Amino acid sequence: MEIRKPSNTELEEIIALSPQALFDGTLGGVSASNEKVLNLIEPLLKKGCYYLIATENNELMGWILIGENKDQFTEQLNGFIYELFVKESFRGRGISKELMNVAIEQLRQAGYSEVRLSAYVGNNAIKLYEKMGFSLRTVSMKLQL
């Protein structure tokens, strides 16, 4: 397995698959068009966020989107994991963990003292995050009306 930044063609594939990644990551709670996904991703890429991809035999298996985020209260800059996705046919092979390890190391080398992420309750990736040492920081709640 190779983990690296994507080519332009691979980036186009990521964008095309991103609505599915968003749907899976939100446990079916968000269905978005490619246009909506582009509206979410383009500003992140313009501010310096970037993808790392996992490939094998030139086939895209998954990706992670990382960058910087500012704490809304302290204004401290932190490393941030915006998205993690592995294609269904490649799940269960440790690809998410490898992507996370490389991303965390790159954020560490960029000088961040903390890495944050957000996940929907019930997302299976939360188990991975906890095993890697992530802990709860905030809880977002809702009341259906």
* Interatomic CA distance for residues 69 and 112, integer angstroms: 10
Residue 78 lies in a domain: yes
Which range of residues forms the domain containing residue 77?
2-131
Residue 136 lies in a domain: no
Residue 8 lies in a domain: yes
pLDDT tens digits along 10-23: 999 999 999 888 88
Domain CATH number, residue 82 = 3.40.630.30
Kindly report whether the global pTM for this prediction surpasses the value 0.85: yes
Q: What's the number of domains the chain is made of?
A: 1
Q: How far is CA 26 from CA 3, 121, 125, in A?
A: 25, 9, 11
pLDDT tens digits along 28-44: 777 788 888 889 999 99
Residue 76 lies in a domain: yes
Residue 72 lies in a domain: yes
